[in-house]
Amino acid sequence: MSGHIVERGPNRWAVVLEIRDPAGRRRQKWHAFRGSKREAQRRLAELVTEREHGTYVEPSKQTVARYFEEWLRDWAPITSGPKTLEGYATLTRHVTNAIGTKPMQQVRGGDLNRLLNDMRARGLSPKSVKHVYVLARRVFSHALRQGDIKVDPTRSIDAPRVPHREAAALRHEEIPVLFDGLRGNFMYPIAVLALGTGMRRGEICALRWQDVDLDGSRIEVRRSLEETKAGLRFKEPKSARSRRSISLAPSVIDCLREHRKTQLELRLKLGQGKPPAGELVFTTWRGDPRRPDRLSCEFCRAMQRIGLPHISLHSLRHTHASELIRSGVDILTISRRLGHSSAAITLGVYGHLMSSKDGAADAIEAMLGGIR
């Protein structure tokens, strides 16, 4: 069982490969080919070799749009949460709008390169362009592993570069300005906790009083609050290292005690009775969770009013890390407080803040100083 060629016209051939399906039934796969008879016979021999070695990929006209749609529906949810899937759906539209009608097996590196260049020409950010590349690479790599394509076109193009941008952070002298401007506002204890612990926005919104040990001066980060198009959902932290214990400074403890007192007094005034089990540290006056996206918007408006327009809620996390680095705290401790999956990530984000006076030359001189 091998195959044969059929002449279709001048220099046009059908290369017919004989295969067996999983049930053992004999089938024929027809491949269009242009060239001489000898070249068509050579192509048949190549297909037979691929079949014998298990590398043969059946011809398919399945389009990029259909393949990406099926990947999003059937494969991406295995490893990704709802918020990530929403992001994938947005990125997929860039791909399908450009090459969605093209068969997956016919996509080449040049097609993807033109897509990325067009995104740049339309003014999309370098980060967005990089995200589309990463998604395309993930889907085409999946198609290659599944035997749906023979060549991964993303392997033939370089990953787009994203210019390095230093994380925005408060200058030391701006910290009192921040707190003076927020004092008396519901945002004040949130800012104190964010600046005092480096917690992520979703982690702050999901924090329960049962996770706070004021007497033991510690907070346990056990979950996060995510906002999707379907609504709010509590989820596991970003990574295994994100499940962590953070020590609290006395000022943060005092602020949280005062906030707890105010919260309980408000419940009493509103006739809401005893706090429920699992009560959140930061809620609306109704006791509902604070929506992360809305909290960020309200914080930015507060910064505009105070005169710190360059600062976002996430900037307080960067400020926390920056202050620890300037105080000489070791990078491993900082990484653990931030919940990074590795210290390498912390160094990648904040390495520019590290002092260049590492003492290496002095240590070498102490070793070699006697040789002169």
- Domain of 88, CATH number, reads 1.10.150.130
| pLDDT bucket at 1, cuts 50 / 70 / 90 | very low
My answer on whether 206 and 348 are in the same domain is yes
> Considering the domain boundaries, does residue 366 fall inside one?
no
Asked whether residue 36 falls in the same domain as residue 14, the answer is yes
The percentage of residues in the chain with a pLDDT greater than 70, rounded to a whole number, is 91
**Domain-located, residue 20:** yes
What are the tens digits of pLDDT across the range 113-139? 999 999 999 999 999 999 999 999 999
3-state class of 117 per DSSP? helix
Rounded to an integer, the average pLDDT of 233-258 is 92
Q: What is the mean pLDDT of residues 154-170?
A: 88
How many domains are contained in the chain? 3
User: Of 275, 227, 221, 286, whose CA–CA distance to 248 is shortest?
Assistant: 221
Is 176 part of any domain? yes
Q: What is the pTM (predicted TM-score) of this model?
A: 0.77
Residue 114 and residue 133 in one domain: yes
CATH code of the domain in which 183 resides: 1.10.443.10
Using the predicted structure, report yes or no on whether residue 27 has a pLDDT greater than 90: no
Please state, rounded to an integer, the average pLDDT across all residues of the chain.
Answer: 88
Contacts with 307 (C-beta within 8 Å, 6 or more apart), sequence order:
177, 181
Q: Please report, for the chain, how many H helices and E strands are present, in that order.
A: 15, 8
**Contact predicate 331/346, CB 8 Å:** yes
Residue 234: domain span: 172-353
Is 59 a domain residue?
A: no
Sheet holding 3-9, edge to edge: 3-9, 12-20, 26-34
